[in-house]
Structure 1
């Protein structure tokens, strides 16, 4: 019997933050793609009746902790939906804001990223390394990767992992960069998925965040970083994304 490839349900929160390499690899693997915009009032599907589907929750400049504001009421509804989706052990990949929502849905929390003593707020923006907390050959998500990989950082919050989560990757300033919950949920605070063309759009549209994190030279440093590291980040990102979609696709066949 032929197994039908799953649908990738893209939950997008802002125009500029799309699925990029995740969509590219999903199509390579024969998946269909459906995009939903909760921020525009579009309803999310019933987790019980939705079968053979991987949810991809993308990023955005908003904070999970702002979900009780009237203008962000859609995010509270999304979190309630995601909590039920997770409880049903439906497969899900969360990136950046999506990873933070996943952590909260699973019983964790999110707080501002701070460093030093006394604690000082930090926005982690730019190309930088993460290191894996386990030997890559021993973890299905990490097979084919080096012990440390370059990624793109773009956040100012920190995840407090739920008890059921397994921490897989950390950066110098933010320990909770990559995590897995059982075999059905993966969270990625950093970015492996971003294409060069969309990076330029992020730089243009999120200029103030970049300058506040990196100074007035920040936009040019990001462009230079992409020239130096971008090809490698995307190459290694493709490995991670393929591993992740294979793992999560296997969950779509589970009862």
Structure 2
């Protein structure tokens, strides 16, 4: 059975709507939790066809404080060098960018909450094309576009919201995988960050989740199916 492994940094930021897509494609889906043993060897012994690097509250370059990030970066570099499929979400996208030598740094402001992304011409012709409804943003860092990468999406705060490297590597700064039914875990887990973000509230995120999550869940599954058709070909 084809293996899909997701690196998970905090328990509530999981595969969300992506999990069902992977299962329906006949893939065996498992998680490797960061900070619990040797991350790279735990992933590589499973020989995954697909690696998904999920989000989390640490910085991609906080390697002194969180040594597991060095292993994670090395694992991503190795997969990129072999053109093995890797999908990065939020922190995962930042790690892919860093692995490719791009600068990762604090954005001019945090983006937390639901809002649209603007697709580039290339993005509009990519598997992201259907993601026209608001997505969930939850990040304070951004990154430069890696050399050789294709720019796919932006927002006024973060120019580089999505990028592709060939057919097999994709980084998304925003969240399309989140399930509306899981948002309470996000609100609890990120309570301090919400309290420190001007204009952001638990009530506002909850209301917008009710408004947008259902539509996003459907479109995110379509997006992932399209990308996997290309990445796993």
The bucket for the TM-score relative to the shorter chain is over 0.9
1:218 and 2:201 matched: yes
Shift of 1:191: 0.4
Unaligned ranges ≥5, structure 1 = 115-121, 251-255
CA contact (8 A) 1:110 1:158 kept: yes
How far apart in 1 are the matches of 2:141 and 2:214?
27
1:142 and 2:128 matched: yes
Q: 1:135 to 1:159 in 2, by over 3 A?
A: closer
Q: 2:24 maps to which residue?
A: 28
Aligned-residue CA RMSD (Å): 2.0
C-alpha offsets along residues 113-158 of structure 1, whole Å, 9 cap, x if unaligned? Answer: 01xxxxxxx110000010110166632x235x16x43100000001
C-alpha offsets along residues 22-41 of structure 1, whole Å, 9 cap, x if unaligned? Answer: 11110111111121123212
Of 81, 98, 120, which residue of structure 1 is paired with 2:92? 98
Shift of 1:226: 0.9
Q: 1:119 maps to which residue?
A: none
Of 168, 177, 191, which residue of structure 1 is paired with 2:161? 177
CA contact (8 A) 2:115 2:137 kept: yes
TM-score after normalising by structure 1:
0.85
1:133 and 2:120 matched: yes
Shift of 1:46: 8.4
How far apart in 2 are the matches of 1:137 and 1:127?
20
Task: Count matched residues.
Answer: 233
How far apart in 1 are the matches of 2:189 and 2:124?
39
Q: 1:80 maps to which residue?
A: 74
Q: 1:253 maps to which residue?
A: none
How far apart in 2 are the matches of 1:79 and 1:136?
26
For the residue of structure 2 that corresponds to 1:222, the secondary structure is: helix
Q: 1:118 maps to which residue?
A: none
For the residue of structure 1 that corresponds to 2:116, the secondary structure is: strand
TM-score after normalising by structure 2:
0.92
1:123 and 2:110 matched: yes
Q: 1:38 maps to which residue?
A: 34
CA contact (8 A) 1:125 1:214 kept: no
For the residue of structure 2 that corresponds to 1:86, the secondary structure is: helix
Query: How is 1:41-56 mapped onto 2 (pairs within 5 angstroms)?
Result: 41-45=37-41, 51=47, 53-56=49-52
How far apart in 2 are the matches of 1:136 and 1:67?
31
Query: How is 1:59-74 mapped onto 2 (pairs within 5 angstroms)?
Result: 59-69=55-65, 72-74=66-68
Larger radius of gyration: 1
How far apart in 1 are the matches of 2:97 and 2:150?
11
